[in-house]
Structure 1
Amino acid sequence: MELRVGPPPSSLAAVPLPPSDSLSSGLDSLSLAADGGSSLGSDSEINGGEASLPNADRYGFVGGSNFTGEAARIPAEVIREREKKWLETEQNWERSITRRYKKIMLRCRKGIPSSMRSRIWPLLCGAKSRMLQNKNIFKVLDESAGDRQWLEAIEKDLHRQFPFHEMFLSREGTGQQDLYRVLKAYTVYKPEEGYCQAQGPLAAVLLMQMPAEEAFWCLVQICEHYVPGYYSQGLEAVHLDGQVLDALLKKVSPGTHRHLRKHEVDPVMYMTEWFMCLYTRTLPWATMLRVWDMFLSEGVKVIFRVALFLLKVTLGSADKLKDCQGLVETLERLRNIPQHYLQDDILIREVSELGITDAAIDRETSRQRKKMAKAGRSPPHLATTRLHGARAVSESVRRPPPLDTHPLPLFVPSPAAAPRSPPAPAVLVSPPAAAEDPRGKPAGRSRTFYVRRPSRPPQVPPRREGGGGGGGQWVAEEEGRGVRSKRFSEPLCSDTYF
């Protein structure tokens, strides 16, 4: 199941993404109580002169599978209270992410208000700090020519990204134009990776929340630190995480695991789209947004937990397996999960209660890498290390980079910097040496110590000439490791008592 868009344009993806699906979380206005209007994407100037569509839902969809209509909503008073708490957290972000991370995690599980996602998502994933550290870099990348083969592949996929959302209705609209800019900038930023079809829905979801520059840096952070290696040429990291998911499924739902093994259903047959698209093509829109809230806060374990929950509720009992007597039937069931299991309150509650931790994922990943090495397959080499959640990302951003690395890509000219003054030499202050007791006594309170001290080397008298009654008593001889006299030898060390 290949989602890779490779260098030759003729060998694009083997499994195209469904054009009818649309992911979107509209740029909801700060006033969430007023529900009648559509999102900002419906503005006629934004969408290339088209008239705004009055029947767009609160997320900006005018139809398709993601259209929610008049769905039930959280009371406006509750939303107002949550917005105030998030505004306070944003103003004291460094302190909050360091000392109150658990509270941030719980608030993300409740759901970030739509009016605050454009400000909180870049903070959670570290994109805000990256953007401040690399000012004007997106402009340089946007103005670069780019590789023609990637640009042609991106152009072909633009119309597939949520065609029923009002931001992406027209090629001349801001939505598709910004999507093209973000994806092209990423191919220039990561020429060794290029463009992958699964990055399209990710960039589109981000653009529904924030401007193009912030969306670009969010995409960079997700691809580098949350799911590193997912969009590389061979998708080795996706295959590795598929084996990790299979091992975790054996512990969480043994019956489901046996069924999949019996019918030879490989994990990459069903989890590739889930993991690479981060459920943007699988879950209802409101549920997907809350999963992303948790994902950016807690890390990749949320993606594994959601997958385990979907497998368990779909194939976790004998009654559910009656109609799945083969590989095709099983995959069809996984593509059509009952909607009542996908409601946001139910799914988020069940996912939060699953006991899959970051440490368990790391242990299983290490175990699977060793298995791959023993089988003669080289484990995927990741350029960056996977970071588990917002706190780990924040710590990596605060940590100074190594001296031998460049903060920007090699093709981007670094801004002129002021000459650095040489660092001041370190001043080492040695404490005064303690006065030694001439008798060699250690400090103590009238205690007896046993000290083993080397003695003076033995004095070997010269050889005495001539014979006589005692001529041989001065003759030196070798014994063991040292030279000792026959009569005047001393031990190599003496035992002294105090």
Structure 2
Amino acid sequence: MARIGHGNGLASRDSKEKLTDDGRGSDPETEAQVDKYGFTGGAQQHHGQSAEEIPIEVLRQREAKWLEMLNSWDKWMAKKHKTVKERCQKGIPPSLRGRAWLYLTGGKGRREQNQGRFQVLDNQPGDPKWVDIIERDLHRQFPFHEMFAARGGHGQQDLLRVLKAYTLHRPEEGYCQAQAPIAAVLLMHMPAEDAFWVLVQICEKYLPGYYSTGLEAIQLDGEILYALLRRVSPVAHRHLKKHKLEPILYMTEWFMCAFSRTLPWASVLRVWDMFLCEGVKILFRVGLVLLRSMLGSQEKLKACQGLYETMELLRAIQPQYMQETFLVHKIIEIVVSEKDIEKEHHAQLRRWKETHGDLNCKSPPRMHGAKAIMAAEPPSRQDLRQRPTIIVDSPLAPETDGKRPEGAKENGKTKLEKQKTILAPQETVNPDLPPSDPSPLKHMTIQESKESLSSAEHDTYL
């Protein structure tokens, strides 16, 4: 895989005058505005209103529906998976996206079944070879995003922790550059421990073998994409075949980074919502939509008469084809199923063995989305239980004439004495506020240089 290009690292925003890497100051008044996703510049910065701006009332309704699903996740996945899928296609509410991704991938259950595992890995020094490579890659991951702009800042430190932990979790696999943007996207939505387990699930269940030495799995999927293109857009397929443009040349970064380095950010998030729900078929569909949109007619092919021109065209996809509304509609519309992918996978595997012999990488079978993962590894109700962020005593009614408040005794205590109020994530209170304050504020604690909230506190991170 070609190395990911260098970005322009931005320094810390803590002081009034920002210092760039070469030490020059910049006027804070002339600095780029931070968009709603946290980008201060670059190609992925959001400009103006999106066609997908959702009315606040609709967003609140969607949040309520998602909270209901997350509180009974096993039942919804077992009995109403179609509804879950449709709600992912509509877009997960931003305030709940991190928690939803954790549940969709099975990362929540995996974390609970391996409590303390991340902390053990996090405390180990790691293989110096991998740590050195990871450290050199940190500043290249979304350098225009507030979280990763500062060299050595909390975002980059968390990214190092997650990627280092993965190399210790899978020493035979180690580190691949394309894992860094995947982990960075996750860290934008959840704390380090959760991001680690979701990364593990993506690497092991959704895209097994993608990040192994030799990149055989991605090469196979390139051939599958090429074969599916023959059915979806014969014109584009003939053009690529005519110029002998191998799939590995244009789809490697698309698939290995799950389009996080290709699409506008609003589209990235919508694609990930569907990808983590429905599996790798979403990546195939996005690739097919882009290829058909750019190369799907003779009129469009007039601008790219050779291999070089075609590659340049695919490196600079026209914005209208990556726009959120257009792309999501086409992804849902295009007919490519898990069966289609598996059928073509077996065909390409036979051809691979004929030309290359057996695969060197023995990756586990691919899971096609959240439903398949949950069916293969059903979590217990305990694993999916919501942990309260803060538990506070509810105010007790004052005693009168030395008598207890009304309420039956239970083991020597009244019900009221035993009652606790468990706050929902969005209702976490600031202990510094008086009890009568009607507007509880989110309370977020950052531990020294562990850079992120613990998993038990992750709800306040949203």
- Under a length normalisation based on structure 1, what TM-score does the superposition of the two structures give? 0.71
1:298 alignment partner in structure 2: 278
Does residue 347 (structure 1) correspond to residue 327 (structure 2)? The answer is yes
8 Å contact from structure 1 (residues 21, 65) kept in 2: no
1:437-469 per-residue CA deviation (whole Å, 9 max, x = no partner) reads xxxxxxxxxxxxxxxxxxxxxxxxxxxxxxxxx
Residue 174 of structure 1: how far off its partner (Å): 1.0
Residue 373 of structure 1: how far off its partner (Å): 1.5
Does residue 142 (structure 1) correspond to residue 113 (structure 2)? The answer is no
Matched letter for residue 169 of structure 2: Y
1:58 alignment partner in structure 2: 36
Residue 20 of structure 1: how far off its partner (Å): 5.6
Q: How many pairs were matched up?
A: 367
8 Å contact from structure 1 (residues 21, 64) kept in 2: no
Residue 147 of structure 1: how far off its partner (Å): 0.7
Separation in 1 of the partners of 2:135 and 2:279?
A: 31
Does residue 67 (structure 1) correspond to residue 45 (structure 2)? The answer is yes
1:315 alignment partner in structure 2: 295
Larger Rg over CA atoms = 1
Separation in 1 of the partners of 2:7 and 2:122?
A: 26
Secondary structure at the aligned position of 2:48 is classed as coil
Residue 396 of structure 1: how far off its partner (Å): 1.8
2:23 alignment partner in structure 1: none
Separation in 2 of the partners of 1:306 and 1:67?
A: 21
Q: 1:88 to 1:44 in 2, by over 3 A?
A: farther
Q: 1:169 to 1:240 in 2, by over 3 A?
A: same
8 Å contact from structure 1 (residues 167, 174) kept in 2: yes
8 Å contact from structure 2 (residues 9, 150) kept in 1: no
Matched letter for residue 132 of structure 1: E
Does residue 390 (structure 1) correspond to residue 370 (structure 2)? The answer is yes
1:387-427 per-residue CA deviation (whole Å, 9 max, x = no partner) reads 00101111122289xxxxxxxxxxxxxxxxxxxxxxxxxxx
8 Å contact from structure 2 (residues 9, 149) kept in 1: no
1:16 alignment partner in structure 2: 4
Separation in 2 of the partners of 1:18 and 1:306?
A: 25
1:162 alignment partner in structure 2: 142
Secondary structure at the aligned position of 2:297 is classed as coil
Separation in 2 of the partners of 1:69 and 1:330?
A: 28
1:361-402 per-residue CA deviation (whole Å, 9 max, x = no partner) reads 0010001111112224223543321000101111122289xx
8 Å contact from structure 1 (residues 127, 221) kept in 2: yes
Map residues 120-199 of structure 1 onto 2, 5 A cutoff. 120-199=100-179
Separation in 1 of the partners of 2:105 and 2:305?
A: 42
Secondary structure at the aligned position of 2:377 is classed as helix
Separation in 1 of the partners of 2:57 and 2:278?
A: 27
Q: Gaps (5+ residues) in structure 1?
A: 3-13, 23-41, 401-498
8 Å contact from structure 1 (residues 253, 316) kept in 2: yes
Matched letter for residue 246 of structure 2: D
Percent identity reads: 51
**Ranges of 4+ aligned residues in structure 1 off by more than 6 Å:** 48-54
Separation in 1 of the partners of 2:219 and 2:206?
A: 16
1:231-264 per-residue CA deviation (whole Å, 9 max, x = no partner) reads 0011000001011111111111111111001111
From 84, 89, 94, the equivalent of 1:114 is: 94
Q: 1:161 to 1:172 in 2, by over 3 A?
A: same
Separation in 1 of the partners of 2:9 and 2:241?
A: 30
Residue 21 of structure 1: how far off its partner (Å): 11
Secondary structure at the aligned position of 1:375 is classed as helix
From 266, 269, 272, the equivalent of 1:289 is: 269
8 Å contact from structure 1 (residues 125, 221) kept in 2: yes
- Greater fraction of residues in helix: 2
Matched letter for residue 305 of structure 1: R
8 Å contact from structure 1 (residues 20, 65) kept in 2: no
Separation in 2 of the partners of 1:18 and 1:254?
A: 36
8 Å contact from structure 1 (residues 182, 203) kept in 2: yes
Matched letter for residue 65 of structure 1: A
Separation in 2 of the partners of 1:92 and 1:49?
A: 48
1:100-151 per-residue CA deviation (whole Å, 9 max, x = no partner) reads 0000000000000110011100000000000000001000000112111100
Separation in 1 of the partners of 2:325 and 2:62?
A: 17
1:247 alignment partner in structure 2: 227
Map residues 21-32 of structure 1 onto 2, 5 A cutoff. none
8 Å contact from structure 1 (residues 228, 382) kept in 2: no
8 Å contact from structure 1 (residues 21, 66) kept in 2: no
Residue 165 of structure 1: how far off its partner (Å): 0.7
Separation in 1 of the partners of 2:338 and 2:74?
A: 23
Residue 74 of structure 1: how far off its partner (Å): 1.4
Map residues 419-438 of structure 1 onto 2, 5 A cutoff. none
Matched letter for residue 17 of structure 1: G
Does residue 372 (structure 1) correspond to residue 352 (structure 2)? The answer is yes
Matched letter for residue 346 of structure 2: S
Q: 1:200 to 1:355 in 2, by over 3 A?
A: same
